[in-house]
Amino acid sequence: MKYIDEFRDGDSARHIAANIAAEVRPDTSYSFMEFCGGHTHAISRYGISGMLPANVRMIHGPGCPVCVLPIGRVDLAIRLVMERGVMLCTYGDPMRVPASEGLSLIKAKARGADVRMVYSAADALDLAERHPDREVVFFAIGFETTTPPTALVIRDAKARAVNNFSVLCCHVLTPSAITHILESAEVRQFGTVPIDGFIGPAHVSIIIGSQPYEHFAEEYRKPVVITGFEPLDVMQGILMLVRQVNEGRAVVENEFSRVVTPKGNLAAQKRVSQVFELRESFEWRGLGEVPYSALKIRPAYAAWDAERKFDLHYASVPDHKQCECGAILRGVKRPADCKLFGTVCMPESPMGSCMVSNEGACAAHYSYGRFRDIAVVSA
């Protein structure tokens, strides 16, 4: 497929790997955080970490919307469908996120609750129009990539007066999460998470552009390379970060220039700001309450805001005691450091959110990397 196959070519990957190996300085260690789950998945699936020199380490970031969705938010959705009898629509990813009392949306569905998995937010609005006698709620999660489609369906719901439709908005923002990581004690004081640069988001940046990251490069002296999700993109992004570190530079560079522009998609930004406004604070799994890190629906669209319509109040719920998702999302621990990893927590029966989506650090390591550290014994 055009614009996919040529960015997955094995010979080119080996060529870029040789460039990285030739340019890294043996006396320097390079730790780069890939913010996005899409990059985490590519790094695991294509064996990219195995092609890097030993002194180049990739740290998985919190950029997986499913992974950072706190239990309390899933509980709100489950209560809506089980106690208030709504038809709850959502993307495939949130279906298996563990919630309170051993439940998840898919388990609620197994108990008879009307949970529908949709491909697009527009499908949820269609369901509402086809079932005027039912309350239909779209449980909306995702970063900036996924927010504009939600904004459009809320606009359409108002325009078409679909009054039995509402949205439980859990959309979160990338730049505030990166700031939170850079301000965290682990990075700033203890140095337990050394971050020498960021592989910047791919599809999020299509919407917001490359400019929002300039602050990180200037204020925190961290290089950022916006990078596509294909394996060659990731390899090239790592090479560009190595070069910035070697040259003592900290600027925003754009490897994904075939779609990402400095200002981003202005039409999409306009739609989003018409429908959404900043939330003062939002709880992220692993990061805790992060100020101004999420969106809520503007008062002009209050009739389509499930939180207002059903008078929902968020309550924080702690994670499973032994689950290390929080530390993994902050880059402090790796999946294999968690006692639950691969024993009771597996992709079919996730205990923590990082094992749910294939972009989660634990699921990616489980699917593609868990045998890598085990020595091969000849028979």
Partner 1 sequence: MCLAIPARVVQLLPGCRAVVDLAGVRKEVAIDLVPDAQLEDYVIVHVGYAIGKIDPVEAQRTLALFAELAQGVAQP
* Footprint on this chain of partner 1 (rule: CB under 8 A): 1-4, 6-7, 12, 15-16, 18-19, 22-23, 36-38, 64-66, 91, 93, 119-123, 141-143, 145-146, 148-149, 152, 201-204, 206-207, 228-229, 232-233, 236, 243, 255-260, 265, 267-268, 271, 357, 359
Q: What element of type H or E holds 135?
A: none
Which residue number, 283 or 359, has a Cβ lying nearer to partner 1? Answer: 359
Nearer to partner 1, 44 or 187 (CB): 44
CB 250 within 8 A of CB 221: yes
Q: Work out how close the CB of 322 gets to partner 1 at its nearest, in angstroms, rounded to a whole number.
A: 26
Determine the Cα–Cα distance for residues 86 and 235; give it in Å rounded to an integer: 46
Q: What are the tokens at 129? A: 């129009």
State the DSSP H helix or E strand holding residue 109, giving kind and residue range, or none if neither: helix 105-110
Which residues are within 8 A (CB) of 270 and not within 5 positions of it... i.e. 6 or more apart? none
Of 217, 204, 213, whose CA–CA distance to 244 is shortest? Answer: 217
* Helices (H) then strands (E): counts for the chain: 16, 11
3-state secondary structure of 37: helix
For partner 1, which is the closer residue by CB, 146 or 184? 146
Closest distance to partner 1 from the beta carbon of 186 (Å): 25
Q: Which pair of tokens denotes residue 17?
A: 């790997």
Residue closer to partner 1, measured from CB, 162 or 232? 232
Q: CB of 368: closest distance to partner 1 in angstroms?
A: 17
Report the sign of the C-alpha dihedral through residues 38, 41, 46, 47, in that order.
Answer: positive
CB of 296 to partner 1, least distance (A): 20
- Closer of 44 and 265 to partner 1 (Cβ): 265
CB contact set of 349 (below 8 Å; sequence gap of 6+): none
- Three-point CA angle 84, 88, 93, nearest 5°: 135
CB of 89 to partner 1, least distance (A): 12
Smallest gap, in angstroms, from Cβ of residue 63 to partner 1? Answer: 8
Q: Residue 87 and residue 165: Cα distance in Å, rounded?
A: 10
**Could you tell me the smallest distance in angstroms from the CB atom of residue 74 to partner 1?**
15
For partner 1, give the closer residue by CB, 201 or 223: 201
Distance CA 302, CA 298 (A): 7
* Phi, psi (degrees; rounded to nearest 5) at 289: -70, 125
Smaller CB separation from partner 1, 12 or 100: 12
- Min. distance of Cβ 213 from partner 1 in angstroms? 16
Which CB, 193 or 207, lies closer to partner 1? 207
Is the CB of residue 377 less than 8 Å from the CB of residue 81?
A: no
Nearer to partner 1, 66 or 217 (CB): 66
d(CA 78, CA 210): 37
In angstroms, the CA 146 to CA 203 distance is 9
Output the smallest distance, CB 13 to partner 1, in A.
9
